[in-house]
């Protein structure tokens, strides 16, 4: 039997934010052009998913995000043959709310603008979504899905790594 490379999915987080019947999305530059996404990004070394979603939402919306519940953990796979990519994403999606834009904060590089869209507008724009998870997470939010924040546990070793002999 030949050895194969270990499977290493890309771990991401997403914030699903609703206010008065509208969802906060970002319009961002991607290799596929301008796309709509939930405020989202990659988990960084030493960071819990909860810490990551607060950071990413702030960077992409210039608003402080307060998580209220875990929506779920989602997986999706993308093939980009022209770039030699076969990537599986594991997304931790959280529902919560944001305040007003923070004075002096700018949007992260690549984020063109934020938009508040109704559920119908989100559904109608699915061809512009960065991933099918954008709509799936919003549909789960609209259905009232909410798991306790402590459903995802982050061990203290994230900040202070264990030393193995």
Q: Residue 54, class by beta-carbon neighbours within 10 Å (0-12 exposed, 13-18 middle, 19+ buried)?
A: buried
Summarize pLDDT for 53-92 with one digit per residue, the tens: 999 999 999 999 999 999 999 999 999 888 888 999 999 9
**DSSP for 35-63, written as a single string:** EEE-SEEEPPTT--HHHHHHHHHHHHHSS
Question: In the structure encoding, which two tokens stand for residue 81, read together?
Answer: 């043959």
The pTM of this model reads: 0.94
If pLDDT is split at 50, 70 and 90, which confidence band does 1 have?
Answer: low
């Amino acid at each position: 039997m030949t050895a194969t490379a270990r499977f290493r999915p890309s771990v991401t987080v997403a914030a699903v934010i609703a206010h008065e019947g509208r969802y906060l999305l970002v319009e961002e530059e991607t290799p596929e052009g301008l796309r709509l996404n939930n405020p989202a990004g990659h988990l960084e070394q030493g960071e819990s998913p909860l810490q990551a979603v607060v950071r990413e939402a702030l960077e992409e919306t210039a608003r402080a995000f307060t998580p209220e519940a875990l929506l779920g953990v989602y997986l999706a796979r993308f093939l980009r043959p022209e770039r030699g990519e076969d990537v599986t994403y594991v997304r931790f999606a959280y529902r919560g709310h944001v305040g007003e834009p923070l004075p002096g904060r700018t949007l992260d590089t690549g984020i063109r603008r934020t938009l508040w869209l109704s559920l119908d507008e989100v559904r109608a724009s699915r061809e512009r979504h960065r991933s099918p998870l954008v709509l799936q997470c919003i549909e789960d939010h609209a259905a009232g899905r909410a798991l306790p924040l402590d459903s995802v546990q982050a061990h203290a070793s994230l900040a202070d790594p264990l030393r193995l002999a």
